[in-house]
Amino acid sequence: MKLLGDWLRSNSRKSGSRIILAADVGGPLESRLDAATSLVSAVRERIVAVKVNWHLLLPYGVLGLRKLIERCNDAGLPLIADMKLNDIGATNVEAAETLFSNGFDALIANPFVGYKEGIEDLLAKSRVMHKGVILLVYMSHAGAREGYGLKVGGEPLYLGFARKTRSWGADGAVVSSKSLAIIREVRSVLRKEQLILSPGVGFQGGDARNAIAAGSDYLIVGRSVVESKDPLKAVEALNRELGNSGPSPAVRERRSSL
């Protein structure tokens, strides 16, 4: 039984990395599972976790992904389901139970659905199962400002979502690596043990060092690694860029009691 934050920190110390691999393998559906599993094997010692999205979840589903799930479990890498879950509590709980009882360690959900009969049930289930829930606070695509940046009651929605992440006690927040001021703002709202995971590095234009300097804990990286001719080299280049070419990165110490 490990808290997600503790687990990532421990992996980060071992691997000298802040990278969560987004295993977004494309191409023919039937070859994606093997490709993703090989990819994880190639980089497993130099990353902290693996995230899967519709690229794999849709064609394979939880049962079909068993090989990849086992590879991540065996490698000691937390596996995150990026479903951006956004439904009523009962449906959220059903999804969480399926994922969590089949080798997934955390999922990403949308706080937009609200607490009562929405995120509350999901968080309760994840606590009982000792699993992680990360909430979307500010996304990395250009249109994010139309939704997450919308002013409600005089303040942007993402700020409200950051406060909810704090008061609801989620494990952390997704905040775009490209929005440094927003990372800083969210960091100042969250409890120090709550994580900021930042996508958008590389392909979407985000800068790894700037995001970490602004307060991100870990970077979610997909295409810059997945589409590289040498994924391990690509991961190592990112690790080096962050000054973590060896173990013991300067990950902020966190209280272990969430």
Which residues form the interface with ligand 3DU (CB under 6 A)? 22, 24, 53, 82, 139-140, 174, 176, 199-200, 202-204, 220-224
CB of 186 to ligand 3DU, least distance (A): 13
Residue number, 38 or 204, with CB nearest to ligand 3DU: 204
Residue number, 10 or 204, with CB nearest to ligand 3DU: 204
Partnered with residue 134 across adjacent β-strands are 108, 172
Please tell me the distance from the alpha carbon of residue 159 to that of residue 111, in angstroms, as a whole number: 12
Contact 43, 233 (CB under 8 A): no
Residue partners of 47: CB distance under 8 A and separation at least 6: 11, 15, 17, 19, 20, 21, 77, 235
Residue number, 43 or 117, with CB nearest to ligand 3DU: 43
Residue number, 2 or 203, with CB nearest to ligand 3DU: 203
CB of 20 to ligand 3DU, least distance (A): 9
Of the residues 14, 84, 164, 178, which is catalytic?
84
Assess whether 51 carries a catalytic annotation. no
Residue number, 13 or 210, with CB nearest to ligand 3DU: 210
CB of 162 to ligand 3DU, least distance (A): 14
Please provide the DSSP assignment of the chain as one string.
---HHHHHHHHHHHHT--EEEE----S-HHHHHHHHHHHHHHHGGG-SEEEE-HHHHHHHHHHHTHHHHHHHHHHT--EEEEEEE-S-HHHHHHHHHHHHTTT--EEEE-GGG-IIIIIHHHHHHHHHTT-EEEEEEE-SSTTHHHHTT-EETTEEHHHHHHHHHHHHT-SEEEE-TT-HHHHHHHHHHS-TTSEEEEE-BSTTSB-HHHHHHHT-SEEEE-HHHHTSSSHHHHHHHHHHHTT-SSS---PPP--S--
CB of 228 to ligand 3DU, least distance (A): 11
Closest CB to ligand 3DU: residue number: 222
Residue number, 53 or 216, with CB nearest to ligand 3DU: 53
Structure tokens given for 58: 């849709």
CB of 22 to ligand 3DU, least distance (A): 4
Which residues are known catalytic residues?
Answer: 84
